[in-house]
Amino acid sequence: MCGLSGIARVDGRALTGAADSQLQRMVQAIAHRGPDGEAYYRSGPLGFGFVRLSLVDVAGGDQPLRTEDDDLVLIANGEIYNHEELAATLPSGTRLRTRSDCEVLLHLYRRDGLRFLDEVRGMFSLALYDRTRGRLLLARDRFGIKPVFYHQNAERVVFGSEVKALFEDPDCPRELDWERALRDQAMTRAPAFDESPAHSWFKGVELAPAGCVVSFDLRSGERSTHRYWSFPEFDPADGASEEELVRRYGELLSSAVADCEMADVEIGLFLSGGIDSAAVAALASGKPQTFTALNGSTLANGDSEWGHRTAGILGLTNHQILFRTDSVPGVEEWKRFLWLMQTPLAGPEAFYKHEMYRYVRDRTPHIKAMLLGGGADEFNGGYSKGIAGGGEWPDFLDNLDRMAVRRDQYRSPELGAWWDVPGLPLVKSSVLREAAGRPAHEPYEALFRWKYRDVQQYNCWHEDRSAAGNGIEARVPFLDHRLIELVAAVPGALRPSLIWDKQILRRSLVGHLPDELVHRPKGPFFYGEGVRHTYRAFGAMLAQDGGRLLEEALSGPGAREFLDADNLRATLRQLRANPSSGHVEFLLSAVNLGLLEQMAASLPAPHVQVAKAPVPQSVPVNDWDTDAEKIEAEVVRRPPVDPRTRAAVADNLLLLKDPAEPSVWYLTIDGEIEYVLDEDELPEWPAVLRALDGERTIGEVLDGLGHSLETVHEELADAIDLGIVVAAEAAP
């Protein structure tokens, strides 16, 4: 994990010494990506700036890398996993001057030209200067794991690993692309396929496409793109049996994990309670230390517990990194984090990941790379059960068809109105598809192509920035193109048994993991039963200091044009009153847009120069069952219950009783049964709920029932937190 930056004239002229200071500013803007070294190169029309995180050939792998004749010069970010295999194919007499895994790329390019990445296996972004041909190449790996952005005008092209490096060029626009951002499916979360190219979020700043080489002629300014890898067509002509596909998948995954362990330094592992990271942990040969998020959400949904248990089963050290439910990011803390991420999609998931990386950097600074389970859900059927809505494989396919129609409705709204009328659609979906001009991919394949876009625009983006901000490299074995190509080859008849609920992955791990882990259901990172804790914390973040983040976000010209300020403020009030009333991510994404607009106009200090919040701590856990109460006490900080407070149940709630079950009460929210209360288990609680009338204080209600606050304190605190009980101001 390194940082690339550079300037190249595209008008046939040479750079002058004035470019050196700009290169230094560009490097400083992304210095967090490379704490182990800094280097510069300027010759003729081109200048490179580079910062290094050293994982392979720590002593001798400094960049830029050059051929002996200095005709080819390279800076690269990432890892070439099969570099030794590739080096063995080079012409006899080829001499590699370092042990760097990236040096082989120079000689592959000399031999193969623009096809030099065809057989490369790894994660990377690179800039290569071909002095003889007078051209600059920018290239990325097949899944866009490693980033590179560029801006080109009539005189020059500037590029860098992060957009903030380009903003150090005075001619690069610093304007948020509001219209594109607001239309983006990742922002709207519309249940529809999106195969559009990933983008930078800023006008005039291009994101080099994944799986491509972008070539700039430094004499004429002409730009061209060569695609060396395309997402596979789902044309299952393989003919392999079910058992053969499972076996091959397991072998490829083992190979991918071994590839990602390539380093001359120690590597760690982020371990949740799910099958994905557990698979990586089971197949890793290096016995990595593991790190698990322990917050209100992961405690409630079991993710943190199963992270601990999985580490114990595999004999691995586990750190439970603590995020208390009353821990709220500060205003300046969020702005620093958002500028590091430079995407409006920055949210709770990315923030928790960033804080976990901070813990790793602080507590185990010798760990410079982290194995992840990311990408398994996207390309192995991890979302199949959710898309099925509780149904089975046919329901999954039916709902994919509906998602395809929804996408086509957006593109051809006049014709798409036929699918909004009551009853069954009277027009064939193929007519809508043709009118919308959608690529001729069946809905099943379109799902995977949509997820291919997702991992570029969201997953790889936030994993790269959250790791890079702490001088650590994120490694993702599941984003090995061989695995995706194999999944694409699964015949239609075998998809229900292999792709449903990631069965191809689960079955490949039989013998590597105990059955309880192989078959454990997919769990969310922070969604699920305890999501209210996360929503409450981030709602409080937006509300602190008189809603300062929200008001700053609304103060820019773009925000005033595109955002409804009154509705944003009202939404925040609703979330504060009831953290379960909506998804805080929608509000946060809109606020992020406004903040990014402001920060782009007035650039913040480089990340390495700003003060940081205290580093998270961990909770030592010896035995989860024994320590469960202590763990919950560390994590869950319930809001205080003041007996002087007048309180009532929320207006949209009803308590219902079935005469056939005299001890059971049903609590409905907006007409839907959400909770079941059993008087045999909690004899005081239903009576307290029924008695809260908004006129008397909590203390008066409890006195009238003959109960003490201690007997129902936990239930009251949770009910207030959930918005079930609405508290008025405390009586004087």
DSSP assignment, residue 459? I
DSSP for 356-412, please give it: HHHHHHHH-TTEEEEE--TTHHHHHTTTHHHHHTT--HHHHHHHHHHHHHHHHHHHS
Q: Give the relative orientation of helices 429-436 and 393-411 as an angle to the nearest 10 degrees.
A: 40
CA within 13 Å, CB half, 347: 21
Q: How far is CA 681 from CA 252, 536, 705, in A?
A: 51, 28, 18
Cβ(469)–Cβ(354) under 8 Å? yes
Measure the CA–CA gap between 6 and 8, rounded to whole angstroms: 7
What positions carry a catalytic annotation? Answer: 2
Helix-, strand-, coil-residue percentages of the chain, each rounded to 5: 45, 20, 40
DSSP for 319-372, please give it: EEEEE-TT----HHHHHHHHHHH-STT--HHHHHHHHHHHHHHHH-TTEEEEE-
Q: How far is CA 663 from CA 655, 658, 659, 690, in A?
A: 13, 9, 9, 14
CA-based nearest residue to 483, from 261, 275, 232: 232
Neighbours of 728 (CB within 10 A): 12
Measure the CA–CA gap between 468 and 53, rounded to whole angstroms: 9
Neighbours of 547 (CB within 10 A): 18
- Which neighbouring-strand residues pair with 369? 267, 473
User: Residue 432 belongs to what H/E stretch?
Assistant: helix 429-436
Tokens for 396?
């999954």
Neighbours of 632 (CB within 10 A): 12
Single-letter code of the amino acid located at 507 = R
- Which neighbouring-strand residues pair with 52? 35, 37
CA-based nearest residue to 52, from 16, 2, 93, 94: 2
DSSP for 699-725, please give it: HHHHHHHT--HHHHHHHHHHHHHHTSE
